[in-house]
């Protein structure tokens, strides 16, 4: 198999993993209503507890434990993990409550808006400089929020809270510097004891649905860990196979699925002003995507030009060195090839011993021939 075919298979596998990850995240709104009559807080606590169990099992199979001891010796990173665990708890809880309360479309808006909030964080917190297209996208996003505020009659606080908590979570994860599985394991380890304590308290006061609603309901609550871990594993598999620009475009698959589910499955209303707000958000995302693709294309072109210049320089250096090597090899090789021709006739045909009449020309040529052929000289 050629390297091009291998690369093609790798890219196709990466796309499949990426669509699987974002597809599962996009279809998750179908899962949370199955857990009723459990309330959002109980579902959230079960998600934290069973996620640690699921991710811990995966890490046990993969034998990836070497990161734990160095992490425990770094209080700053532990603080970032605690912050990440806190904000993702808010994000998870609000998302579950929103889906089960009939706000699926607004949750989709939150994840559509997240890239714009991340860019704003980059400017305000990391002092990053934006390109003109990014500034335009942020401006269009602000107008979209204003339009949606008019449409909803209030700020879209669910969407904004989801976007800001997830952007904060992403920023904290960036500072921690752990891979996806390891990071989730550390975060759910922080969440585990409070979540388990809440479930124990809930059961003691008769408010728990785990076990009370039957084995099927208990199995669904336990499967929260699998639902959390599986898309993360798929995402990790896609991230090592695909360029960042492709991952950036795939991230819109999840909110697109959520938006479609909100309209077709949950039958949520979409008055004209909400369509206008969503259209502005999509315009902002189109600007961001176009700018990212253009920047990536320029970077690839600059890299190719640099490689071409390096190749030309290398060829120039080789052209300057090769003639010197050719002169040396001719001086070394030619005398070795010529010596046998000068020596053989004197050694094989002594004129004082063999009469000229007795020695035919054919015999002389037969005696001399084998010594002067290239084969024996070169092969020894």
Residues 274-317 have pLDDT tens digits of 899 999 999 998 998 888 888 878 887 888 888 888 888 877 87
Instruction: Give mean pLDDT, residues 167-187.
Output: 88
Residue 377, pLDDT above cutoff 50: no
Tokens, residue 307: 């490689």
- The mean pLDDT of the chain is 82
- Of 169-173, 220-224, 239-243, which has the strongest mean pLDDT? 220-224
Helix count (H) and strand count (E) of the chain? 15, 0
Instruction: Give mean pLDDT, residues 173-202.
Output: 91
Instruction: Give mean pLDDT, residues 310-331.
Output: 64
343 or 255, which is more confident: 255
Query: pLDDT (tens digit, 9 = 90+) per residue, 24-47?
Result: 999 999 999 999 999 999 999 999
Residue 237, pLDDT above cutoff 60: yes
CA distances from 363 to 81, 223, 347, 349, 373 (A): 95, 96, 15, 10, 17
Query: pLDDT (tens digit, 9 = 90+) per residue, 153-166?
Result: 889 999 999 999 99
Residue 330, pLDDT above cutoff 50: no
**Gap between the Cα atoms of 170 and 158, Å rounded:** 18
Look at residue 323 in the predicted model and tell me its pLDDT.
Answer: 55
- Of 142-151, 215-224, 310-319, which has the strongest mean pLDDT? 215-224
Tokens, residue 5: 């075919």
- pLDDT level of residue 374 (50, 70, 90 thresholds): very low
Instruction: Give mean pLDDT, residues 260-278.
Output: 93
Tokens, residue 172: 């904290």
Instruction: Enumerate the β-bridge partners of residue 253.
Output: none
Query: pLDDT (tens digit, 9 = 90+) per residue, 79-132?
Result: 999 999 999 999 999 999 999 999 999 999 999 998 888 888 888 887 888 889
For 40, other C-beta atoms within 10 Å of its C-beta total: 20
Is 31 buried (19+), middle (13-18) or exposed (0-12) by CB count in 10 A? middle
Percent of the chain with pLDDT over 90: 48
> Are 207 and 45 within 8 A, CB to CB?
no
Look at residue 22 in the predicted model and tell me its pLDDT.
Answer: 93
Residue 341, pLDDT above cutoff 90: no
Residue 368, pLDDT above cutoff 60: no
Look at residue 9 in the predicted model and tell me its pLDDT.
Answer: 52
**Gap between the Cα atoms of 181 and 154, Å rounded:** 38
Look at residue 375 in the predicted model and tell me its pLDDT.
Answer: 40
Instruction: Give mean pLDDT, residues 63-73.
Output: 91
- pLDDT level of residue 322 (50, 70, 90 thresholds): low
């Amino acid at each position: 198999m050629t390297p091009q075919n291998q690369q093609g298979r790798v890219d196709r596998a990466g796309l499949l993993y990426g669509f699987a990850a974002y597809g599962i995240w996009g279809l998750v709104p179908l899962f949370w209503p199955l857990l009723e009559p459990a309330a959002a807080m109980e579902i959230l606590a079960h998600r934290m507890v069973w996620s640690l169990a699921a991710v811990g099992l995966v890490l046990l199979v993969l034998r990836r434990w070497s990161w734990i001891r160095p992490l425990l010796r770094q209080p700053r990173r532990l603080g970032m993990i605690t912050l990440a665990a806190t904000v993702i708890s808010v994000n998870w809880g609000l998302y579950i409550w929103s889906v089960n309360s009939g706000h699926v479309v607004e949750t989709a808006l939150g994840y559509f808006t997240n890239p714009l909030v991340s860019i704003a964080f980059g400017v305000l917190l990391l002092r990053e400089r934006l390109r003109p297209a990014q500034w335009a996208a942020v401006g269009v996003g602000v107008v979209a929020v204003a339009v949606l505020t008019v449409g909803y009659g209030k700020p879209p606080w669910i969407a904004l809270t989801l976007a800001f908590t997830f952007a904060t979570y992403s920023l904290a994860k960036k500072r921690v510097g752990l891979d996806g599985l390891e990071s989730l394991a550390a975060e759910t380890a922080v969440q585990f004891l409070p979540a388990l304590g809440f479930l124990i308290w809930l059961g003691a006061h008769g408010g728990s649905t785990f076990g009370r609603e039957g084995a099927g309901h208990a199995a669904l609550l336990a499967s929260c860990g699998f639902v959390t871990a599986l898309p993360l594993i798929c995402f990790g598999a896609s991230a090592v196979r695909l360029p960042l620009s492709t991952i950036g475009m795939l991230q819109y698959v999840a909110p697109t699925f959520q938006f479609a589910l909100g309209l077709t499955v949950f039958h949520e209303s979409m008055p004209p002003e909400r369509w206008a707000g969503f259209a502005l958000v999509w315009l902002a995302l189109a600007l961001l995507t176009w700018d990212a693709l253009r920047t990536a294309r320029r970077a690839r072109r600059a890299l190719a030009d640099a490689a071409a210049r390096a190749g030309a320089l290398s060829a120039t250096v080789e052209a300057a060195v090769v003639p010197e090597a050719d002169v040396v090899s001719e001086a070394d090789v030619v005398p070795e090839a010529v010596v046998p021709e000068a020596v053989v006739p004197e050694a094989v045909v002594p004129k004082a011993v063999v009469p000229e009449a007795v020695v035919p020309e054919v015999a002389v040529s037969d005696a001399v021939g084998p010594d002067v052929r290239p084969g024996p000289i070169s092969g020894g």
